[in-house]
Amino acid sequence: MRFNLHGVRAIYRFEMNRALRTWAQSIIAPVLTTSLYFIVFGSAIGSRMGDIGGVSYGAYIIPGLLMLSLLSESISNAAFGIYMPKWSGTIYELLSAPVNWVEVLLGYVGAAATKSLLLGTLILLTARLFVHYQIAHPVWMVGLLILTAITFCLFGFIIGLWADNFQKLQIVPLLIITPLTFLGGAFYSIGMLPEPWQTVSLFNPVVYLISGLRWAFYDAADVHIAVSTGMTLGFLAACLAVVWWVFKTGWRIRR
């Protein structure tokens, strides 16, 4: 089958235009929220704390705050993007259009990932206003951000397919992802925890994401970068398999 680039572009542009119409909610609100974290934790609390691994506390929490915003926005953007056609009934027009599941995925997930990465860039620029930081491995940082955004946009896409009301769209981000991020070393190193909590923390998948990004920033991590990358790639493969199965069976789409 010939690749329908026009169809991918149409879906991508539609989703990006929707984000521009709701720019205050999609962009400004998350940046302001993250700025408050920098003010409270970075400036107010961080000034009374010592360095962690030779990095000031205000700079140390940047990867964690960046990952917190990236995960929540990636999931929300992708979930809402595919849920709206289901809710309005236009999903059937999409299914009857000359686009396959890969092209649909590229359009929706590509747009959601673009919005999340744009937000991440704005957060990094905002962080410069509050703390000074250096990036030890900028190429790795960009690669990890892209990989994480795509992976969790795929996860959000699955949530959007699964949800049958607006409340379910928020269940996973609010009740699972956000707590796991706070408990995943966003504001501390898991090496600061006593046993058995250090070992327990290793069962939190977000630990590997934050640790990998922190290594890209400061060349120091709680978990080896190869393990962090491997865990993320494994979750990406699992999400792709689930999406393929959903479109093959029509689960939550045609029923």
**E-strand stretches of the chain:** none
pLDDT of residue 250: 83
Domain positions in the chain = 5-249
pLDDT of residue 1: 55
Give the three-class secondary structure for 75. Answer: helix
- The pLDDT, as a whole number, for residue 117 is 94
Cβ within 8 Å of residue 214, ≥6 positions away? 60, 63, 64, 185, 220, 221, 222
The pLDDT tens digits for 43-53 are: 667 667 778 87
How is residue 234 written in tokens? Answer: 């494994």
* Confidence at residue 40, expressed as pLDDT on a 0 to 100 scale: 79
Q: In the prediction, which pLDDT does 214 show? A: 95
Q: What share of the chain is helix, strand, coil (3-state, %, to 5)?
A: 75, 0, 20
- pLDDT given at position 152: 96
Extract the residue ranges of the chain whose pLDDT is less than 50: none
pLDDT of residue 219: 93
- For residue 69, how many other CB atoms are within 10 A of its CB? 21
User: CB–CB of 79/119 below 8 Å?
Assistant: no
Nearest to 165 by CA among 77, 92, 252, 75: 252
